[in-house]
Chains A and B, each alone.
Chain A
Amino acid sequence: MVDVSSTVMDLPRRDARDKLRGRTRYTNDRARPDTLHAVLLRSTVPAGRITRLDVSAALECPGVHAIVTGADAPGLHGIGIADHPLFATDTIRYHGEPIACIAAETEAEAKAALAAIVLDVEPLNPVLTMAEALAPGAPLIHEDWRAYEVLTEGGARDGNIAWEAKSVRGDVDAAFARSDVTIVESSIAVGRQSHVPFEPRVAIGSWENGRAHIETSTQVPWTVRNVTGRVLQLPPGRVRVTVPPVGGGFGLKFDATIEPITALLARMTGRSVILENSRQEEMATCLCRENAEIRIRSAVTAEGEIVGREAVVLMDCGAYGGEQVFLTTMTSHTLGGSYRLGAVRLVSRAVYTNTPPNGAFRACNGVYNSFALERHTDEICAAIGMDPIEFRKRNVLGNGDLGPTGQVFEGDVLGPMLERMDTLRANTGTLEHAADGRLYGRATALGTWFIFVGPSAATINLNADGSATLVTSGVEIGSGTMMQSLPQIVAGQLGLHPDQIVVREADTDAAGLDAGIGGGRTTVSIGAASVGAAAEVREKLLRTAGEMLQTAPKDLVLRDGRVEISGRPGSGAAISTVVAHAQATTGPISGTGSFTAKNTPAMAGCAMGHFIDALDIPVFVVHEAEVAVDPDTGHVDVLAYRVVQDVGRALNPRAIMGQIQGGVVQGLGYALHEEVTITGDGRIAQDGFETYRVPLAQDVVPVVADLYEGAPSMGPLGTKGAGEVPILAVGSAIACAVSNAIGKPVYRLPLTPPRVLRLIHDIEPRPDYPHIAPNWTDNTLR
Chain B
Amino acid sequence: MTVTLRINGSACRFHGDPMTPLVDVLRRERFLTGTKAVCREGFCGACTVEVDGEAVMSCLRPIGLLDGATVKSIEALAPGDTALHPLQAAFEAADVVQCGMCFPGMVMSLAPFLRENPDAGRNEIKAAMVGNICRCTGYERIVDAVMNFLDSQKMEQANG
Contacts and interface: CB of A to CB of B under 8 A. Distances in A.
B126, B139, B141 pick with most chain A CB within 10 angstroms: B139
A21 B46 contact: no
B95 interface: yes
B77 A21 contact: yes
Contact of B138 (A10, A13, A31, A703): A703
A199 B99 contact: yes
Nearest to A689: B43
A700 B136 contact: no
B22 interface: no
A22 B78 CA distance: 10
Interface stretch (A487-495, A506-514, A661-669): A661-669
Interface string B38-65: 1111011010000000000000000000
Interface string B107-132: 10000000000000000011101101
A658 B95 contact: yes
Contacts of A663: 138
A12 B34 contact: no
Nearest to A22: B34
B75 interface: yes
Contact of A697 (B88, B92, B126): B126
Given A26-B101, A689-B44, A689-B133, A16 B91 contact: yes
A513 B98 CA distance: 26
B28, B38, B43, B98 pick with most chain A CB within 10 angstroms: B98
Given A13-B97, A16-B92, A198-B46, A662 B130 contact: no
A479 B75 contact: no
Given A16-B97, A654-B95, A661-B141, A22 B136 contact: no
A401 B113 CA distance: 56
A762 B126 CA distance: 35
Given A199-B101, A658-B95, A22 B141 contact: no
A19, A24, A250 pick with most chain B CB within 10 angstroms: A19
Contacts of B133: 689, 694, 696
Contacts of B125: 697
Interface in A241-268: 245-248, 250
Interface string B55-85: 0000000000000000001110110000010
A710 B43 CA distance: 43
B138 A665 contact: yes
Nearest to A10: B95
Contact of A20 (B28, B99, B103, B137): B103
A247 B37 CA distance: 12
Nearest to B40: A279
B140 interface: yes
A397 B104 CA distance: 46
A636 B44 CA distance: 23
A248 B136 contact: yes
A196 B137 CA distance: 13
B150 interface: no
Given A661-B137, A700-B140, A655 B92 contact: no
A413 B56 CA distance: 50
Contacts of B4: none
Interface of B is mostly: loop
A166 B138 CA distance: 36
A15 interface: yes
Given A13-B95, A661-B137, A688 B104 contact: no
Given A17-B92, A247-B101, A654-B95, A700 B139 contact: yes
A698 B140 contact: no
Nearest to A476: B99
Interface residues of B, number: 51
Contacts of A245: 99-100
Interface residues of A, number: 54
A433 interface: no
B75, B104, B107, B138 pick with most chain A CB within 10 angstroms: B138
A29 B33 contact: yes
Contacts of B141: 657-658, 661
Contacts of B93: 12
B143 interface: yes
A477 interface: yes
Contacts of A698: 126-127, 129-130
A197 interface: yes
Contacts of A19: 97, 100-101, 103
B135 A658 contact: no
B43 A690 contact: yes
A21 B34 contact: yes
A779 B88 CA distance: 56
A198 B102 contact: yes
A278 B39 CA distance: 8
A13 B41 CA distance: 31
A697 B129 contact: yes
Interface of A is mostly: loop
A246 B107 CA distance: 20
Interface string B17-40: 000000000011000111110111
A170 interface: no
Contact of B98 (A24, A478, A703): A478
Interface string A667-703: 0000000000000000000001110001111101111
A245 B136 CA distance: 15
A697 B139 contact: yes
Nearest to A477: B99
A554 interface: no
Contacts of B91: 16, 20
A13 B91 CA distance: 11
B7 interface: no
Contacts of A16: 91-92, 95, 97, 100
B75 A22 contact: yes
A698 B126 CA distance: 6
A716 interface: no
A661 B139 CA distance: 8
Given A13-B97, A198-B36, A696-B130, A21 B78 contact: yes
Nearest to B138: A665
Given A197-B135, A689-B133, A697-B132, A478 B140 contact: no
Interface in A618-652: none
Contacts of A696: 129-130, 133, 139
Nearest to A701: B140
A198 B126 contact: no
A279 B39 contact: yes
Nearest to A652: B95
Contacts of A694: 133, 135
Contacts of B98: 248, 478-480, 658, 662
B34 A23 contact: yes
A689 B74 contact: no
Nearest to A31: B28
Contacts of A25: 33
A21 B75 contact: yes
A198 B101 contact: yes
B136 A662 contact: yes
Nearest to B91: A20
A13 B92 CA distance: 8
Contacts of A17: 84, 88, 92
A300 B33 CA distance: 60
Interface in A167-205: 195-199
Nearest to A108: B17
Contacts of B44: 198, 689
A248 B132 contact: no
B120 to A, nearest CB: 13
The 10 closest A-B pairs by CB, nearest first: A22-B34, A19-B100, A478-B99, A665-B138, A198-B101, A22-B74, A29-B33, A689-B43, A661-B138, A247-B101
Given A279-B39, A478-B136, 17 more contacts: A12-B95, A13-B97, A16-B97, A20-B97, A20-B103, A21-B75, A22-B33, A22-B34, A23-B75, A198-B44, A198-B102, A198-B135, A477-B99, A658-B95, A662-B98, A665-B138, A698-B127
7 contacts: A22-B33, A198-B36, A198-B102, A199-B101, A479-B98, A688-B41, A697-B142
